[in-house]
Amino acid sequence: MKRFLFTILLLTAAAPLAAQLYHPGEELYYRVSYKAKMFPNTEMGTVEVRTSEDRSNGKTFYKVVGIGRTLPTYRWFYNLEDIYTVWIDTASLRPVRFVSDLHEGDYTFQSQYTYNWPDSTVHTRWQSRKRPFQEKDIPLTSESMDAISLFFNLRTAEAEDFDTREPGTLQMVLQDTIKILHYRYLGRENKKIRNVGKFKTLKFECQLGTTEGYSFTDGTIFTLWISDDRNKIPLYIESPVKVGSIQAYISKYKGLKYPLESLIR
C-alpha cells in the first residue's frame, strides 16, 4: 500500500494522450483495493483528484490536488494520507509549482518543485523523516513534468493516433532525476467497473524505467484502462506490488468537460 496514490498517478501518467485537459470543477474519485492470498480483494483506501482555479500575485492558475487515504476501518493498521498539489499556467499549460506531503505510517516525505521554463530547469527540494532538505537544479525538456502534470498531460488525442506497434516514453521529474515512463497501447476493450457500469476503454501497459531505459520483457508491467471518449479519464488500474496487487477503480466523477460517451450501461 505504500505510496499508492503516487502509483495510481504514475500509471495514469504513462497513458499516451496529446494535450492537457484542465477543467475547473472536474472531480475524480477512486476506490483502492488490495488483493493477496490472505486478503481477497479488500477495499482499503480512496483517491480523489480535483481541479480548480487559483489566483496568486494577480495571475490565475489551474490547481490540481490529488489526495490518497486509507479507509477509517484500516487506519489502526496502516494510516496513510498523501497529498499532491500542482499549479499550472493557464496560458502555456505548463506546471509552475509542485508540492507533495506524504504521511504513511511512520514514513513522511515532502517535496517541492519550482519550474523555470525560460531557462529549461526545475529546482527540486525534498526531505524525508529526520533528514534535512536536499536541493538540486535539473535540466528540463519540454516533455519533463511531475507525476500530477503527466496525469493530465495528454488527454485529447484521438484513439486512431495510437499505435499498438510502437512503444512510447514520457519523462517524469522525480526528486533529483528524470525518470522514464514507458507505455504500450494494446487496443480497445470493454471493461466493467464495479458499481459504476460497463465502459468502452483504451487499454495500456506501462512501467517506470530508468534514465538508461529498459525492455518491456524485463520487470513488472502495469495495466490501465482509460475511457474511450474525449475526457480520457482513467477508469481502472491494476498494479502488482511486493506481495499481491492493488487495483484502483473509479467510483464517482463530477464536472467532466465532455459527456461520458464511453459508458455503455
Report pLDDT digits (tens) over 222-261.
788 989 998 988 899 887 777 777 888 999 999 999 999 9
pLDDT, residue 166, reads: 75
The 8 Å CB, 24+ separation contacts for 116-119 are 117/92
**Mean of all residue pLDDT scores within the chain:** 81
Cβ neighbours for 9, distance < 8 A, ≥ 6 positions apart = 49, 66, 84, 147, 148, 150, 151
* pLDDT of 220 over the 90 cut: no
Q: Hey, where are the domains in the chain?
A: 4-254
- Going by pLDDT thresholds of 50, 70 and 90, the confidence category of residue 205 is confident
**Side chain identity at residue 153, one-letter code:** N
What is the widest separation between alpha-carbon atoms in the chain?
Answer: 54
pTM of whole model > 0.75? yes
Q: Map grid coordinates 483517491 to a residue.
A: 47
Beta bridge partners of 191: 199
